Amino acid sequence: MEETQADKTSEDKTSTGRVVKCSICGKTLQPIGNVLNDFEKSGWTTVGISSTAGWEQWLGTVCSPCRRVYCPDCCDARGGPCPKCGQDVKPAMASFLP
C-alpha cells in the first residue's frame, strides 16, 4: 500500500495534534511523545509537577532567543550552539517551542 502525504502528516502529529518543522530545511520533526507521561507510566512519581502540559517532545532542538526549531540533520540533537545566533539550544519540547 502506498503512503500518501496526508498519511505521513498524521503520523507526525503528537497527541496535541501539533506538527513541528525545522526552520532550515522544513523537515517535519519526529514526535517522541509526552516524556513526563512516559516517566509516570514506568512507575516513577513526579513530585511537585501538577500538569503534564508542555512535556510533549520531538526529535530535534529549539533556540529560544532566535525562536527557531532544528531537526537533527541541521543542528546536533545532543545540544550545542544554534546555527543562527550561537546560543545554546534546548530539546524540542512544547514548553520551549515558539
pTM: 0.67
Local structure of residue 45 (DSSP, 8 states) = -
59-80: pLDDT as tens digits: 999 999 999 999 999 998 777 8
The three three-digit cell numbers of residue 10, written as one number: 498524521
The three three-digit cell numbers of residue 85, written as one number: 545566533
Q: Which helix (H) or strand (E) holds 38?
A: helix 35-41
CB 98, CB 67: distance < 8 Å: yes
The band of 94, judged by pLDDT with boundaries at 50, 70 and 90, is confident
The residues that bridge with 81 in the sheet, in sequence order, are: 88
Q: What is the pLDDT of residue 54?
A: 59
